[in-house]
């Protein structure tokens, strides 16, 4: 606890993903006051043409009550 899943388009290097994971872990530890060993981070690469149906609809539209940061776009408009 906690486990963070980052969904993004393909194309980031392994170094970029490692750097982002490290920064996420630092912030999670600082804010939640948990041990670093308790935090895990995963990346799921989603192709641009699949984003609306695989991410936006299920994770954003259908789970608005869970979101603390809404995106400033809507691929269905």
Clarify whether 75 is annotated catalytic.
Answer: no
Going residue by residue through the chain, which has 77 residues, state the pLDDT in tens, using 9 for 90 and above. 899 999 999 999 999 999 999 999 999 999 999 999 999 999 999 999 999 999 999 999 999 999 999 999 999 99
Q: Are residues 5 and 36 in the same domain?
A: yes
Structure tokens at 20: 């982002």
Domain ranges, residue 71: 48-77
Q: Are residues 5 and 32 in the same domain?
A: yes
Q: Are residues 39 and 6 in the same domain?
A: yes
- Average pLDDT over the chain, rounded to whole? 97
CATH label of the domain that carries residue 5: 3.30.429.10
Buried-state track 41-51, b at ≥16 Cβ within 10 A, e below 16? bebeebeeeee
Q: Are residues 25 and 52 in the same domain?
A: no
Q: How far apart are CA 56 and CA 72, in angstroms?
A: 12
Q: Are residues 34 and 63 in the same domain?
A: no
Catalytic residue among 2, 58, 71, 75: 2
Q: How many independent structural domains does the chain possess?
A: 2
């Amino acid at each position: 606890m906690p486990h963070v899943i980052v969904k993004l388009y393909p194309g980031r290097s392994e170094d970029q993903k490692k750097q982002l994971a490290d920064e996420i872990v630092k912030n999670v530890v600082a804010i939640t006051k948990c041990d670093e060993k308790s935090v895990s981070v995963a990346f799921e690469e989603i192709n641009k043409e699949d984003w609306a149906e695989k991410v936006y609809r299920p994770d954003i539209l259908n789970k608005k009550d869970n979101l603390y940061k809404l995106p400033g776009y809507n691929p269905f408009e």
